[in-house]
Structure 1
Amino acid sequence: MNPTFETVTVSVENSVGWLRLNRPDRANAFDMRMWKDLPLAAKWLGNQPEVRVVVLRGEGKHFCSGIDISVVTELENLVTAPGCAGRAREGVIAFIELAQAAFTSLEEMRVPVIAAIHGACIGGGIDLAAACDIRLAANGSTFCIKEIDLAIVPDAGTVQRLRHVIGYSNLVELTYTAESFGADRARELGLVSRVLASPEALFETATEMAANIAAKSPLAVRGIKRHLLWSREHNVRDGLSYVAAWNGNMLISDDTMEAIAAQAQKRQATYLD
């Protein structure tokens, strides 16, 4: 039985995990509960041995519109509460770390996460998308790194992750200006790899892509994700040493033997989870 959360839903279909933001009446904006639910949902999906890839999407008309106004109120109450200023600031740091951990939980999943973006992808929505491995968007989607308009520094992963995705210069411009841009511009920047004509086409394509990945060797898929993240943080020489050590252990796997046999016999390979 799938677990129940207040702000997200999870399901597994044909080796594909589905993670849906489920606050459509608030355009899937993050409140405190969603920041707590997201890592729990990611952990549950990650613990299902049959899950080989995850698709993340929003219910309703939007992917994620950022931070719910209730969070701003909670932060104001935290910093203005009577008592020790140091403890109040410690509470703010704890809140920031809670948000950071929620987004990082997607990046730390051992399987790839596909973000299927439609409607608004604003502020925290960008943080969310940046933590995913593949990003697809529907025509009509709107993107914005919004934090500067709230007089805050982006603190949940956009700055750290997107410079590897869209390049430093593009990141600097978008972070300073809070410029809104559409799906085609997102593709030009490399923020998304495909733009689909409609949300329906987006979800269909995400499903097909997930099925494609789920049919590959789970060991190879998980190894590629580990290596891609490792290479992002290390130099070429270290990355080559890392993948040599990985493949030195994995090239004798049952998956490799099955892949070779399937190609020789002109059939679809079948892998254990």
Structure 2
Amino acid sequence: MTEYKAFRVELADKIAHVQINRPEKLNAMNADFWKEIIDIFQWADETDEVRVVVLSGAGKHFSAGIDLALLAQAASHLGKDVGRNARALRKTILQLQGSFNAVDRCSKPVLAAIQGYCIGGGIDLISACDMRYCSADAQFSIKEIDMGMAADVGTLQRLPRLIGDGIMRELAYTGRNVNAEEAQRIGLVNSVYADHAALFDGVMELARQIAAKSPIAIRGTKEMIGYARDHRVEDGLEYIATWNAAMLQSADLQAAMMAHMSKKTPEFAD
């Protein structure tokens, strides 16, 4: 397994545990973070043994968002020409967006386990995951508004599809904190666990359930959900018809049916 500076990655029982590993910095997202997350999720996408990904943060907090030192570094490179500054900044923003696009586009389900602070870039990151779960001490905030900027790496594009447009606008305009109870009520997280240990155990159990399913069926289901998000209903129906014309010929379908009839647990190849 590759060693990373900003992450710890483990693979066991078909589950890739990807942990942001800068607890002394509240898991703030430095330059290493933005580069490594692309490599990690490309690896998860391409590795057949990986059936599901659990994303977490080491220590007391999930993530305090982008490392302010990284922002200061970007500002220090700006010159006097507005046009050239704009070109450089746009390039940087698109590169950062690419880091979370890698999470969104991963063909394996990604489950976020969130404790403590999840603010700024942390919201952008979890918005790119399939499901989100948190402990009772979790706090969420679209903090960019308090920094005099608009969130620019995914929150404003993905979050309305998760919690609704109106509440997203309220959080984005005010930057106020959302506790775990409200996060569940508005649909930002699926479930709230009493503490960090219960959170990790609960999310890993869900990951094991997903990992036991047909990887062909999981792949198709995630593909169709993502496609439906960005297309008309009619387009989605046409796509699933074409997709399943091939995928229904998989050996997984027969294995699942035989196991169901014999009341046994099916086993699927990677």
Which TM-score bucket, shorter chain as reference? over 0.9
List alignment gaps of at least 5 residues for structure 2. Answer: none
Give the equivalent residue in structure 2 for 1:124.
121
Asked whether 1:224 is paired with 2:221, we answer yes
Confirm or deny that 1:60 pairs with 2:29.
Answer: no
Q: Which runs of 4+ in 1 moved over 3 A?
A: none
Aligned to 1:170: 167
Cα displacement (A) at 1:194: 0.4
8 Å Cα contact 1:27-1:64 kept in structure 2: yes
Q: Distance in 2 between matches of 1:203 and 1:250?
A: 33
State the identity as a percent. Answer: 39
Aligned residues of 1:10 and 1:45 also touching (Cα < 8 A): no
Matched, 1:105 2:102: yes
1:186 pairs with one of 183, 186, 199: 183
* Structure 1 position 268 matched with structure 2 position 260: no
Q: Distance in 2 between matches of 1:68 and 1:20?
A: 17
1:11 corresponds to which residue? Answer: 10
1:252 positional shift = 1.7
Which of 243, 247, 252 does residue 249 from structure 2 map onto? 252
User: Post-superposition shift, 1:271?
Assistant: 0.3
Is 2:44–2:108's contact at 8 Å kept on the other side of the alignment? Answer: no
User: How many aligned positions are there?
Assistant: 270
- Where does the alignment leave 5 or more consecutive residues of structure 1 unmatched? none
* Pairing 1:134–2:112 present: no
Contact 1:36 1:98 in 2 (8 A): no
Query: Could you tell me how far 1:9 is from its partner in structure 2?
Result: 1.7
1:187-238 deviations in whole A, cap 9, x for unaligned? 0110100000001000001110000000000001011110111000011111
**Contact 2:7-2:20 within 8 A present in 1 as well:** yes
Deviations 1:143-193 (A, max 9, x none): 001111111111100111011100011111110010101011000110100
Match of 1:240 among 237, 240, 263: 237
SS in 1 for 2:163: coil
* Residue 148 (structure 2) aligns with: 151
Equivalent-residue separation in structure 1 for 2:189 and 2:237 (angstroms): 27
Contact 1:39 1:105 in 2 (8 A): yes
Normalized against structure 2, the TM-score is what? 0.98
Q: Distance in 2 between matches of 1:36 and 1:92?
A: 17
The 1-side partners of 2:216 and 2:28 are apart by 35
Cα deviation, 1:42-81, whole Å, max 9, x if unaligned, reads 11222221000000000111111111110121122022x3
CA distance in 2, matches of 1:270, 1:239: 29
8 Å contact from structure 1 (residues 165, 190) kept in 2: yes
**Alignment check: 8 A CA contact 1:147 1:178 kept:** yes
Q: Report the RMSD for the aligned CA atoms in angstroms.
A: 1.0
Residue 69 in 1 paired to residue 42 in 2?
no
Query: In the alignment, residue 87 of structure 1 is paired with which amino acid?
Result: R
In the TM superposition, what whole-angstrom CA distance separates every residue of 1:20-45 from its partner, at most 9, and x where no partner exists?
A: 10111110011122111111111122
More displaced 10-residue stretch of structure 1: 240-249 or 12-21: 240-249
